[in-house]
Amino acid sequence: MATSPDPFNSRSSRKVPLNKDAVLSTALEIVDAEGLDGLTMRRLGQELRRDPMSLYRYAANRAALLDGVTEVVLDELTMFAEEPDWQAQLRGMAHDLRLLALRHPNVVALLVTRPLSTPLGLRPLGTLRPLEQILGLLIGAGFSPTEALHAYRAYYGFLYGHILNELRECIVDPEENEALLRLGLHRLPAKDFPHLRALGPVLANYEGDVELDQGLTILLSGLAAQLQRKDR
């Protein structure tokens, strides 16, 4: 007994050994389709038609698997759009990251929280590449290295914040055409939340890219002003 459930298993598909990329990309598929909790070693093993234990050859443990998934996602970022000036580039990269987040909303929680307790230098290199890239961009634009760092922080802070905000703006029941109900706002006590309830219709049609762009305009104009002040 103890034959494998699928004879196919022990022949053709096993011939091709797994590799890390294959493991990580199907892991990502599972996360996209079923959420973070949906990704278990057993579930992933099933998807790859392997014993769950075999996965430990490609990821030291589940945490490492999750780190790998974030790296795969970050690699989707188009590295360099050639844009005229640094502001346009930052704008473009922001929109790219936003779209990436929308494509993999379940991974955003990882992107944001996984490295929380991992010191900068020990993080997967994929996570650090955008940082290095933007530093170069800003320094090239005329900021001093230190200023570039501060600017980067303001920029990325805002960007991540926006993405989190946008992902939160999700809908209870898209079929419902009454804005209040669609967002579940009817549950709020009217006297404690007058403004929020009044904004129901506005809240209901959120346009993330416009919202992001407006925020960027504020931020970038602030940064540009700083750069000008310095030029004099």
In the bound state with a copy of itself, the residue whose beta carbon lies nearer, of 23 and 134, is: 134
By CB under 8 A, residue 130 contacts a copy of itself: no
By CB under 8 A, residue 116 contacts a copy of itself: yes
CA torsion, ordered 31, 35, 37, 43, to nearest 10 deg = -50
Written as one letter, the residue type at 28 is L
The radius of gyration of the chain's CA atoms, rounded to the nearest angstrom, is 22
Region near DNA per CB under 7 A, out of 7-15, 95-103, 140-148, 191-199: 7-15
By CB under 7 A, residue 4 contacts DNA: yes
Pick one of DNA, a copy of itself, none as the site partner of residue 230 (Cβ within 5 to 8 A by kind): none
* Count of residues making up the chain: 232
By CB under 8 A, residue 107 contacts a copy of itself: no
Encoded tokens for 105: 């909303």
By CB under 7 A, residue 36 contacts DNA: no
Containing 69, the helix (H) or strand (E) segment is: helix 62-74
Nearest CA to 108 out of 140, 77, 73, 61 is that of: 73
Nearest CA to 137 out of 127, 147, 124 is that of: 147
- Yes or no: say if 80 and 90 are a contact pair by the CB < 8 Å rule: no
* Given 33, 53, 88, 196, the residue binding DNA (CB under 7 A): 53
In the bound state with a copy of itself, the residue whose beta carbon lies nearer, of 40 and 158, is: 158
By CB under 7 A, residue 43 contacts DNA: yes
By CB under 7 A, residue 56 contacts DNA: yes
**Residues interacting with DNA, by CB under 7 A?**
2-4, 9-10, 14-15, 17-18, 39-43, 45, 49-54, 56-57, 61-63
